[in-house]
Structure 1
Amino acid sequence: MEEQNMYSWVVVGASFAALLFGPSINYAVGVFYVALLNEFNEDITLTAWLGALFSCMFALTGPVASLIINVSDCRTCVVMSGAFMMIGFSTSFLVTNMKLLFITYALIAGLGTGLAQTGSSVILGYYFPKKAGLATGISCSGVGLVSGIGSTASRVLVGLALSDERIESATVYSSLHGIMAGFTLILPFLQTSPYLRILYGLILGLYTGGAWVLVTTLTLEILGVGDFAAGLGVGLFSCGTGYLIGPPIAGALLQASGYYHSVFIFAVAMFFAATLLGFLSTMTRRPLTGDTRLDMTSPISQGNTPSCGKKSFGATKENGRNSKSVL
């Protein structure tokens, strides 16, 4: 787009609200877990899988949300998210068999959180194609308000840092995970005091919350606006896969070893792997050439209200030929 105007920041506010009242519900899974155990008296493992499936759907459904955005627009995607969450949670209130909750709660309501997550993130890339960091940080802080002070501060601070053109998203991404790997490695020494454990929780939020901002900005920087929706959907799908298989892997490690330390050692290995892959991405990434630069046209400058989709933004090659829609 051209220089950001007031409407662009209205979109940021709407994205903030959508994330606050949508995907942030995932952080209440632990509360739901206790309530479900008391209500249905089902197997602990089955109840845990119900929560795990719901909590990963906000990211696992990224490709579905990307498809809706590419076929229609971001607005349609977010409106559908509200409809799915309303239907899913309303019908979950009525069911008497917990197995039905895998459909109403985990799948239907979970799909709603996923559509909200992707739609609210992709739209920021269209309104802020060059400096999406600050806008994304403000928007993602809506989820951070639910998860804790450290996570909220991390999202805003990372967004502010990315507004400086000298700071690369991949470098920040790798650094955050590298620092978190170091703190997790010394976690056994922090168990001597409850205050040190609280400090670790604050650090965990402070150095991992901002990673969600970087998922958006890195995808936008690497793929550009034209493939942003599809790329973010795939990226979120990989995050959702980790959310789904991570807890069972941790449980298996705990059961095999009998020590929680083995689980945290595995977490350290994953943090270091993320750090290494992040730095490798800075070495192998090729800058966008003139043929792939995007000429964003704002319909606001023409007196129109944008629908934030394929009818609103045009992407053209530098020579002006082979025009195609962004969405």
Structure 2
Amino acid sequence: MEVSRSNIDRGYAWVILAAAFTLQLMAGILVYSPGVMNIAVLEEIENDLTKTSWIGSANFGACTLLGPVAGLIQAKAGSRVAAMLGAALTLTGMTVASFCKTTFGLVLTYGLVSGFGVCLACNVVGVVTGKYFSKRHETAFGVCIAGGGLGLFVAGPLVRYLLSQYNLSGTLLILGAIEFHMCVAGVTLRPLRKEQAQGVTESRNDQREDTATDRGYIDRLLESNVCKVFMSFRVLKHIGFLIYNVSIMLWALGEAAAVFHLPYYAQQKGSSPDQAATLFTAMGVGSVFSRLAAGIMASDSKIPYLTLHTGFTGISGIVLLLFPLYSHTYTTQLVFGSLFGTYSQGMNTLVGPIVLTLVALEEIPVAYGFAFFFQGIGYILGPPAASWIYKLSGVYDFTYVFAGSSMVLSSMLAAAVGVVRRKDLQRMDALTPDVQQRDVKY
């Protein structure tokens, strides 16, 4: 059943918003659970931090590296089918993981299979929000992304409670059943009529009617596989976009390292396993606020997206760098969780708007794929890189020095994007001279 045009920014759009929020909530619970789960893996499966860190690394990485594949599936099958498929894959991965007795098996099931299920759900969130919201798009996207912050809030205490009651195998099985609720949210994703969905996109981009012929010509060109390959590489010629990709890779590198190692690091500093798990709750409170606030601020034309991103990453890096100096008590660890959650999670809301400002309209689908790919590289390398540093040095504090340094460097590169952006836009004009440029902020 399709939904009428009258539901844009109102009516059934609120149902879609609730469904997208739920999908993001379920994704957040699973993505932020490996850090707490890793303590049980070390106790029950293999006592090697470097090897077990690949479980969370694979889960983090699959959520982003496989973004282009998820987008292709969604384009062919639709948002409803993609969300339900994601739920089924997550349930399957977690169920099989509950029977695994090796680290490698958990990497494949808990990491890759379930991670790809979450990837499908996250991809759906961004697409359906864009279809149902036009005037309130940034704010609506911020609300959806806040679901991931709530997942961070829930993940630590929930997983710790399940581990205390059912051990690792039972926890994986029950968590898979909880994640399968993504299927319920997916059922509600009724599509807009094609001509009406197209109208929403056109109104948001504020395109004139006389450019329709040029856009149709570009769309026909994109149907060619040769053109698609060319476009994939051409988008990286925008220097600003390339620098931004490296920036978000370093951001993801630092965030993944910090979040994954937090529970075990806190225990090394004297906190109990239950106390270490509640640090995610403190982080989740700040995360929900940060994601919502970033969406609201991004909707203000006077506040540049890149300025927000630079500030968020820079402050997050400083918080990480200083953490070893005040990590010796549970109270100060809670302070860290609140601060890091508040400043590190707002960037998730800004990825979409920033990409829109850095590339031409016809390059956006390819650009999103590259952004998620670079982010995935950071997520998949962060936890094992930090574990390797700890293994070589024997000083766990260095893992947070590494994470903080990555974040600070990410902030510097984000600031550099604004400096080179004007030249990058001139290059974009030369490549696509007949395409009307968007009036964007930076």
User: What TM bracket, shorter-length normalisation?
Assistant: 0.7 to 0.9
Shift of 1:47: 2.9
Shift of 1:41: 4.9
Pairing 1:1-327 to 2, within 5 Å after superposition: 4-41=9-46, 43-95=48-100, 99-128=104-133, 131-147=136-152, 148-191=284-327, 194-223=330-359, 226-285=362-421, 286=425, 291-292=435-436
**In 1, Cα distance between equivalents of 2:420 and 2:132:** 28
Quickly say closer, same or farther: Cα 1:34–1:264, change in 2 above 3 A: closer
**In 1, Cα distance between equivalents of 2:304 and 2:56:** 36
**In 1, Cα distance between equivalents of 2:38 and 2:74:** 32
**In 2, Cα distance between equivalents of 1:258 and 1:166:** 47
Quickly say closer, same or farther: Cα 1:182–1:110, change in 2 above 3 A: closer
Q: Is the 8 A contact 2:65 2:375 kept in 1?
A: yes
**In 1, Cα distance between equivalents of 2:390 and 2:104:** 27
Higher helix share: 2
Q: Which runs of 5+ in 2 are unaligned?
A: 153-283
Counterpart of 1:308 in structure 2 is none
SS across alignment from 2:98: helix
**In 2, Cα distance between equivalents of 1:97 and 1:185:** 34
Q: How many residues matched?
A: 294
Quickly say closer, same or farther: Cα 1:84–1:23, change in 2 above 3 A: farther
Cα deviation, 1:102-145, whole Å, max 9, x if unaligned, reads 33322221110111112212332344456532112110111111
Q: Which runs of 5+ in 1 are unaligned?
A: 295-327
Quickly say closer, same or farther: Cα 1:187–1:101, change in 2 above 3 A: closer
SS across alignment from 1:146: helix
Shift of 1:166: 1.1
TM-score (norm 2): 0.59
Quickly say closer, same or farther: Cα 1:48–1:277, change in 2 above 3 A: closer
TM-score (norm 1): 0.78
- For 1:166, the aligned partner's letter is K
Q: Note the aligned Cα RMSD (angstroms).
A: 3.0
Shift of 1:192: 6.1
Identity of aligned residues (%): 28
Out of 247-256 and 19-28, give the one that drifted further.
247-256
- For 1:247, the aligned partner's letter is P
**In 2, Cα distance between equivalents of 1:80 and 1:130:** 30
SS across alignment from 1:291: coil
Shift of 1:68: 2.1
